[in-house]
Every structure is written in structure tokens, then in C-alpha cells.
Chains A and B, each alone.
Chain A
Amino acid sequence: MKHVKYWILALLMGLFLFPKIAFGQTQGIQSGEVEETRTSGPLQLTLSVVPGVLVHGSGQLIAGDTSLGLKLLAAQGVGILGLGGGIAMLAITGASDQFNVPVIWTMSLGGAAFIFSWFGDIYASMGASQLTGRPKSLPLMEISQGIQFVYNPILDDGFYSKTSLRLAAKKWLASASISIRPDLNDIRSQLRGQYRLVGSARNSEEFFTLGDSLDLSLGYDLHTYDDRRVVSHQFPLALLGRLDLRNLDKALRGSFVDASIGLVFGGYFYDSGTVEYAEQLIADIGFGVYLGRRKNQWGTAKLYYRHRHDGFLGGAKLIGLGSGATGSANFRLRHSLFDDWGFEIGAGAGSAYVFDLSAIYRWGK
């Protein structure tokens, strides 16, 4: 564990610096910049899916944008290297305790490169940068209230009340959320404190923004499930990175890739009073787009993989070799309705299906 922190820094910085070093594009997002629609259309979109699923960047390469096509192809290569190298290392070491953490983190970052290089091609081929929004500053405060539905054939399913609060100021962000189902005394609450290590594209003096970023996050998750006599205390510590894909090309403007790596420390309190230490790995990746082109609009849509195995979701139940280790697949959409009001929809598939729908109110621009 001695060198773990260096792995984290090297890998994450590598991911974020890679496109800037390799492609020489270092400028941030300039407001009022006009996009070009160079390589979008039905043919490009089709090609970006097939054969694009195998050769990322196909849509752009065949349509003649070799610059972006090659960048995406190179990113796919990095992804395959990370994923393939990780799988090889797991096989060689027999999933050894000494290597698991850096190997799985490497695979996660490789997975992020692999995903964004394919989705990026589809995005550019759709000409989606014409439709999507731009990164916006976060408000000082955001509260949301909604419902969450959990379907779990093994445990219980039903509706939960979900409440969240988020505060953002300068380089700090704090959030809290709680999901409650009173009839089962099932309560899951989460606290997060987040500090921005590598700053955002603009307005960083005021509030958090959603451009390139690298944050350090520390949290506390408490799950009391009285009906099943389970209490779990977890302390996640993670680096959360976001790369605005505008760094690769204007055609990817409005899209981003997320990657998080970290550790979860904690314990389980059993019925008998026995307390046992438990740990988990954070290795999450996602691809998303900004929504809301007008100044008073805001929102994001994001597909992401979450590696954790706790909570309502757990990890995916698979038949065969991936059993147990795999996390969950998720989708989340947040969008403004009026200036300060918006909504959030989430869906996740792991050991359970979890859906949520909330109303959002924001204050303090």
C-alpha cells in the first residue's frame, strides 16, 4: 500500500494530461465560440457504431476528419492497453492482494479511455455539439426531494423518500443525501466533502464549475437496515476527475468523461454485536453531456459504471467468469425546467434495479 498514492496521482494525471500532451490542445472553453459541423450525418453515425464499435473513430476517419478519428483511435489504444494489461496482470498474479488495487484502477482508467473514444465518435458523428449545452457554474445551494424505487428479488423492494442537499463555494463542495423507507426502518445516508485540487475552466473564484477538474473527496455512508439487522458504516476516499472532451476537438464540445479512483474503509455491525472491518474499491467511469444551451439553462446526462458493491444497487449479477467483481451500470439526467427549478432522473442496474425521480431547487448563482 506504500506506493498507492503515487499510482493514483500518476494514473489520474496521465489520463488528464494525455490529450493535451498528445494533441497539443490546451485551451479551455471560450464562451461564444462557434462550432463547426464538419463530419456529422447519418452515414457517419452509422459508421461510428459499426465498425466504430471495433475501430473507434471510424465515423470520423471515413468521413474525412482524420485528425479527430486518429485521436479517438489512439484513445481506444490507450483503453485497450489499460484494460488488457489489467486483465493480463490479474491472470499473471492470480488476483494477488498486493496488485489488485493498482491493477483495477488501471483497468478503470483504461475503461474510461475506451468508452469515451467510442461514445465520442458517435457524439461527433451525430453533430451533437450543436445540440448539447456548456459547463455551468454550480449554485451556492441545491436541494432536491423525490422518490426512489428499488426492485430487488432477493431482499425487499419498494419506494423510498430521497432528499439531498448540496453546498458549493470556491474550491469546496459539501453534500448530504438520505433515502428512507420507514416501514422497514431502512435508511441510507451519505455525506461528502470535496476539495478541488485542479481547477475548473472558469468562475473558479466563485463557485464550482463543471469543466476539467480533479477533486479529492472524503465521505461517510451509513446504512441501517433494521428489518434485515444490518448496519454498515463506510468512509469513501476518492479522487474524482473530469475531462472536458472539448480538449480533444471542437466536435466533442459539450461532452465529458469522468473517472474516479479511491478506497472505501468501513465496517459491518452484525446482529450478534460482532463488528468486522470491510473495504471496497472505487473505480468508476462515465461519459456525459452538458445540457441547456441558454444562459439560464443547466443540466447533464451521464452514463456511468460504478464499481462499488454496497448500497441498494450492489454490483451486477453475472453468469460466469465476471461473477462478483463487476459493479453496476447507471444513467443520470439532470435538467433545468425554469431558472432555479429542475429535475433529476436516475436509473441503475446492479444486484437490484434502482430508479429515482426528484425535483431540484437551486439558490445562489
Chain B
Amino acid sequence: MRLLIAIIMLSGCLDVGEQRAKRDLEIGQLNSEFLSVSVDDGLGRIKSHTKLGLQLWAQAPQLSGEIKIKETGRFVFDLNNAMLDADLKVNDSGAAIVTEVVPIENGRPTQKRWAFDVQAGKTYIFTVESTQSSNDPWRFIAFADVQRRIDGVQDLFAPMALDETVRFALISGDLTSQGTVEELTRFQSELLALPFPCFATLGNHELGSGETTFHDFFGRGNFSFEYGGARFTLLDSASATIAEPVWEWLDRWVERGKDKAHLVMMHIPPLDVSGHRNGAFASRLEANTFLNLLERGKVDITIYGHVHTFAAYSNAGIPAYITGGGGAIPMRLDGIGRHFLKVDVDPLKQTFVPQVVRVHPED
């Protein structure tokens, strides 16, 4: 049997996405000669570090982890893609350390900096907190498929920024046309116009110039976090499948979200609203298995991209929405062009209610 499988493996590739899943596990982990860092659940990408400095890109509203310092001095903690009310707390063996907010020259609302004193050889536990009641309704934004319209992405961001009730945005892939370093750099710089963070997973277009270039900018493709009484799970379905290691993580995330409002978001949907097109998982059998898992885990809503239109349908009885109106070549004759979704979360009722916001110009 092993010989047969070995022969099979030589003849082609079924493990697309596995390399990216392995890369996920490296996100937020650092063990250099100056510094050791571990961000819990890989929810922050380490952009840079020095002996006494760390710069993270957040992939969730709240972060936690530990930093092992090897030099005594004043440590500078930079956080990009941060919540407006992000607050850093640091403790040393349970004792709180005083942190100082450091203003950033020409800094944007989502860029935060703190400083605190550290001693060599000690390990510090940090948490970045953001307050959102688990009893009150709140709002986030979902969008996808900007691709070639990066020059017009501010047409989307401007109306998003006007809504002061929005806590963060989620993008389910195809931020760029080819996923090049230049395109990803540009997208990240455009995000600075938003007064709230944007947490991203990747789409098939991000794979145009390397499997894990996206990870070098945004962090994990598969991740899950809780905020405001709800769970958010973003998955990497950019190769029309869920990679084998991710199924085990998904089991855990689904279990954790069972008693909460739970959103699952990814780029390529398990099943396309139009089966003829099959802008969906490559295997229907895998799609059915995946949806059964979500259904058993009482997932409340699924949001996808990839198809350049808006569609509301149902998969395994779970409400499903496609929002692919970020600017890629629009689907014709569907009556809708560029758009994004505002989604109202009611944690007590465990509901998500999306509302379409059209963007002008639509094409």
C-alpha cells in the first residue's frame, strides 16, 4: 500500500495548500539570538525585530503571547493593523509592568506603539486588548476580490471609513491580481486609510507569484479568533480545497464556536451558487463533508468571495453569502457591481445580519 501511494505521489499533486498550512504554524514564532517571541495561535505576524524591539502585524482584534528578552533596556512594541482602542498589557511572572504609549510621527489610527522596561533573561507575557461587550450588537465589514482595481480601492474604503460603528473589516482573498510583493505592499499601504484594522485570508490570485508571499505580509491563511461574543474563522481555500492539516484545527475551532455566534469565511466557496460554473471546491465530496462539519458545529453564517457578484443562498442549511465586489472584472447581467457587506452581529441572539453597500462607480 505504501509503495502504491509513493508511486501515486510522484505522478502528481493532491496536497496543494499543505505547504501554506505548514507556513501558518511558523507565523508569530521567533527564536533569534536577541529575542524569542511566541504569539498565541499565530495571530500576529512578526514584521521585524531588534534586540529591544518587536513589530507585529495583527490578524485579530486581540493578541496574546510571550517575549523572552536577552538584553536589558527599554523595549519598543509596535503593532500594525491594530484596533482603535488596542491596549497593551505586559506582566512579568504575574506582576504587571508599566507600559507607555509612544506617539508615532505621521502614524495612522491602526498603528500603535508602546514602550516598557525589560531585563535580560526574563520572559514577559503580553496581551493586546480591545473592548467589545459580548451582550451588545456591533458591526464589521466583509469584502473580497479587489484584484486589478487597486487604484480604485479607496472607492470602497471611503464609505467603509464613514461608518463609525464598524470595528474591523475582513477580506476573504484576492487582494491582488498576482500576489506579488509590490501588489501586497501596495494593498497594505492602502489599508492605512481605514480607521479600523482589516484581517485577511488569501485567494487564488495571491498564489500567482509564490505559495507563501501572502504569509510574509499578512500572516496566517487559516486562523480563528473570538471577539465581542462571536467567533470568526478564516480559512485558506485558495486552491479549491482545505489542506489536510487544517481539518484538525477546524474541528477545534468549530467546537470552540459551538455555543457562540460563529462566522466561517474563505475565498473559494465549498459549493458555488451556480453549480454549472463550479467556482467552488474541486471535490463535491469534500465540500459536502466540510459543510456537514460546519453544520454539526452550529456555524451561523458563511461568507465567501471568488465569484464576482453578490449572492445569498444556503449551504447545508447555513446561510451563505458571496461578496466578490471588490473591483475584479464584474459578473455581467447580475444587477450589481462593486460592493461590500456591513454585517451586524448580535452575540446574544447568535445572529449575523449582512447588508449590501454599493460602491460608486460600480464598474
Q: Pick the contact of B276: A157, A281, A353 (CB < 8 A).
A: A281
B151 interface residue per 8 A CB criterion = no
A296 interface residue per 8 A CB criterion = no
Within 8 A of A (CB), among B197-214: 204-205, 207-208, 211
The 4 closest A-B pairs by CB, nearest first: A314-B283, A351-B283, A279-B275, A274-B317
Q: Pick the contact of A310: B17, B244, B284 (CB < 8 A).
A: B284
Name 6 interchain pairs, CB-CB below 8 A, sorted by A: A270-B316, A276-B316, A281-B276, A317-B240, A318-B16, A351-B286
Do the beta carbons of A316 and B282 come within 8 Å of each other? yes
List B contacts of A324 (CB < 8 A). Answer: 204, 240, 268, 272, 278-282, 306
Q: Which residue of A lies closest to B308 (CB)?
A: A94
Complex CA–CA separation, A101 to B275 (angstroms): 10
Q: Pick the contact of A228: B5, B13, B240, B288 (CB < 8 A).
A: B288
A97 interface residue per 8 A CB criterion = yes
Complex CA–CA separation, A320 to B213 (angstroms): 13
Chain B positions 241 through 285: 1 when the CB is less than 8 Å from some CB of chain A, otherwise 0: 110100100000000000000000000100110111111111111
A172 interface residue per 8 A CB criterion = no
List B contacts of A97 (CB < 8 A). Answer: 274, 276-277, 331, 333-334
- Contacts A272-B295, A309-B278 supplied; 18 other A-B pairs, CB < 8 Å: A94-B309, A99-B332, A100-B277, A151-B4, A152-B14, A153-B14, A154-B14, A154-B283, A155-B289, A268-B284, A314-B284, A317-B17, A317-B241, A318-B239, A320-B204, A323-B204, A324-B272, A353-B11
Which has the most chain B C-beta neighbours within 10 Å: A94, A96, A101, A232? A94
List B contacts of A345 (CB < 8 A). Answer: none
Q: Which residue of B lies closest to A186 (CB)?
A: B285
Complex CA–CA separation, A314 to B207 (angstroms): 22
B residues sitting closer than 8 Å to A (CB atoms) are: 4-5, 8, 11-17, 204-205, 207-208, 211, 238-242, 244, 247, 268, 271-272, 274-286, 288-289, 291-292, 295-296, 306-309, 314-317, 329-334
Q: Which residue of B lies closest to A158 (CB)?
A: B1
How many Å from the CB of A280 to the closest CB on chain B? 5
Do the beta carbons of B281 and A271 come within 8 Å of each other? no
Q: Pick the contact of B15: A153, A274, A323 (CB < 8 A).
A: A153
Given contacts A155-B289, A271-B296, A353-B8, contact A317 B279 (CB under 8 A): no
A50 interface residue per 8 A CB criterion = no
A149 interface residue per 8 A CB criterion = yes
List A contacts of B288 (CB < 8 A). Answer: 225, 228, 230, 232, 268, 270
Q: Which residue of B lies closest to A92 (CB)?
A: B332
List B contacts of A268 (CB < 8 A). Answer: 284, 288, 316
Given contacts A154-B242, A309-B278, A349-B12, contact A94 B284 (CB under 8 A): no
Main secondary structure of the interface of A (DSSP, over half): loop
Q: Which residue of B lies closest to A101 (CB)?
A: B276
A residues sitting closer than 8 Å to B (CB atoms) are: 91-101, 104, 149, 151-155, 157, 223, 225, 228-230, 232, 263-264, 268, 270-272, 274, 276, 278-281, 309-312, 314-321, 323-326, 349-353
Q: Which residue of A lies closest to B204 (CB)?
A: A323
Do the beta carbons of A280 and B275 come within 8 Å of each other? yes
Complex CA–CA separation, A155 to B289 (angstroms): 9
Given contacts A310-B284, A315-B282, contact A154 B241 (CB under 8 A): yes
List A contacts of B289 (CB < 8 A). Answer: 154-155, 225, 228, 230
How many Å from the CB of A95 to the closest CB on chain B? 6
Complex CA–CA separation, A149 to B4 (angstroms): 10
List B contacts of A225 (CB < 8 A). Answer: 285, 288-289
List A contacts of B296 (CB < 8 A). Answer: 271-272
List A contacts of B280 (CB < 8 A). Answer: 309, 324
How many Å from the CB of B304 to the closest CB on chain A? 11
Complex CA–CA separation, A264 to B284 (angstroms): 13
How many Å from the CB of B326 to the closest CB on chain A? 13
Q: Which residue of A lies closest to B206 (CB)?
A: A320
Q: Which residue of A lies closest to B208 (CB)?
A: A320
Do the beta carbons of A155 and B268 come within 8 Å of each other? no
Q: Which residue of A lies closest to B244 (CB)?
A: A153
